[in-house]
């Protein structure tokens, strides 16, 4: 998906919502467990209930690969079911060198046909470039994440006082452009968004941490949006596990509508 197509979806739906399909089989409503593929059935009903409210889905690959071959099958069926106009993100956080990264990229961009994949930058340029070589695909680079451990390395000061996440963001702009490179920036760091926009004024930001982790749409958009919005705000647990009964999909829709409504006010 191109940058222009993504922006058009945001404007058409009045939404920049990304829904994380972190589908944990231990949390799936019990009535689904009799299905041949309960993970896919759960995802299917979530997609049916929310596809008009979001512009992206983000399966967290760990929840699928932990189930072995059956999990990969569920993921492939989920990808085939997501409407083609919706941006898809493989939340895989891959990062290795040379041919290994190339095989990871082939897995997610060719075999599974995702639009984007999250990539860890710790090993440097030769771990990221194989992903950027795929035309029409996106790298979403981990920059300043929403978890508590982001304090351990990402915010540590480098020579000259530059925090490590800023060094990563600046260096990565030598590798990709705002048409194939995004950054992960957690909603739990709203005070950093003004500086981040000085570093990367035009790039899209994938923003986890809204909802269950305490971040808010208002704070993120106040400091993080640009003229194209430039944000994909993700909610996973807060939407897909909003309900635990047979009406779980209807409850997910209500939770998604609440966020989409907040986003529409910013557009």
Weakest-pLDDT range from 14-23, 145-154, 206-215, 219-228: 145-154
Query: For the ranges 112-116, 173-177, 181-185, 210-214, which has the lowest average pLDDT?
Result: 210-214
Structure confidence at residue 262 (pLDDT): 96
Q: How far apart are CA 37 and CA 59, in angstroms?
A: 16
User: Would you state the pLDDT for residue 144?
Assistant: 85
**Cα–Cα distance measured from residue 134 to residue 102, given in angstroms and rounded to the nearest whole number:** 10
Residues 6+ apart with CB under 8 A from 248: 29, 42, 45, 241, 242
Looking at the predicted structure, is the pLDDT value of residue 185 above 70? yes
Question: CATH number of the domain at 3-264, out of 3.30.365.10, 3.30.70.20, 3.90.79.10, 3.20.20.70?
Answer: 3.20.20.70
- CA 51 to chain CA centroid, Å, is 15
For helices 98-106 and 125-132, the axis angle rounded to 10 degrees is 30
53-91 pLDDT, tens per residue? 999 999 999 999 999 999 999 999 999 999 999 999 999
| Cα–Cα nearest to 109, from 139, 142, 141 | 139
Mean pLDDT along residues 228-246: 95
pLDDT-derived band at 97 (thresholds 50, 70, 90) equals confident
Examine the pLDDT at 131 and tell me if it is beyond 70: yes
More confident residue, 190 or 195: 195
Contact, 210 vs 233, CB < 8 A? yes
Report the alpha-carbon distance of residue 71 to residue 76 in Å, rounded.
9
Compute the mean pLDDT over every residue in the chain, rounded to the nearest whole number.
92
Annotated active-site positions, please?
Answer: 93
Q: What is the mean pLDDT of residues 14-35?
A: 97
Q: What pLDDT is attached to residue 146? A: 65
Q: State pLDDT tens for residues 34-43.
A: 999 999 999 9
Mean pLDDT, residues 173-189 taken together: 93
- Crossing angle for the helix pair 248-264 and 38-50, to the nearest 10 degrees: 40
Question: What per-residue string of b and e applies to 104-135 under the rule 16 or more CB within 10 Å gives b?
Answer: bbebbbeebebbbbbbebeeeeebbbbbbebe
Over residues 145-162, the pLDDT tens digits come to: 766 665 655 555 666 677
Residue 188's pLDDT is: 77
DSSP string, 63-126: HHHTTTHHHHHHHHHHHHHS-TTSEEEEEEEE---HHHHHHHHHIIIIIS--SEEEE--TT-HH
CA–CA distance, 82 with 51 (Å, rounded to integer) = 8
Res 154: pLDDT: 55
Is the pLDDT confidence value at 190 over 90?
Answer: no
Q: Which of 209, 206, 203 is nearest to 226 (CA)?
A: 203
């Amino acid at each position: 998906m191109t940058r222009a197509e993504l922006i058009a979806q945001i404007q058409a739906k009045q939404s920049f919502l990304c829904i994380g399909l972190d589908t944990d089989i231990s949390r799936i409503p019990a009535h689904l467990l009799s299905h041949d593929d309960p993970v896919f059935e759960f995802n299917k009903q979530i997609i049916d209930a929310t596809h008009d409210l979001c512009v992206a889905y983000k399966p967290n690959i760990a929840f699928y690969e932990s189930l072995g071959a059956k999990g990969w099958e569920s993921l492939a069926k989920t990808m085939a079911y997501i409407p083609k106009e919706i941006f898809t993100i493989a939340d895989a956080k891959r990062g290795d060198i040379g041919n290994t990264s190339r095989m990871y990229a082939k897995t997610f961009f060719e075999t599974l046909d995702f639009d984007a994949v999250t990539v860890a930058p710790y090993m440097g340029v030769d771990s990221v470039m194989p992903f950027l070589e795929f035309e029409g695909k996106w790298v979403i680079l981990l920059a300043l994440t929403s978890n508590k451990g982001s304090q351990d390395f990402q915010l540590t000061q480098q020579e000259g006082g530059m925090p490590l996440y800023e060094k990563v963001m600046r260096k990565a702009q030598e590798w990709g452009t705002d048409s194939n490179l995004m950054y992960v920036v957690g909603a739990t760091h709203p005070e950093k968004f003004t500086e981040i926009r000085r570093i990367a004024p035009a790039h899209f930001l994938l923003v986890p941490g809204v909802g269950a982790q305490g971040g808010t749409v208002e704070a993120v958009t106040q400091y993080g949006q640009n003229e194209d919005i430039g944000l994909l705000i993700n909610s996973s647990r807060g939407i897909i596990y909003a309900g635990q009964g047979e009406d779980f999909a209807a409850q997910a829709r209500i939770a998604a509508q609440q966020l989409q409504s907040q986003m529409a006010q910013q557009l």
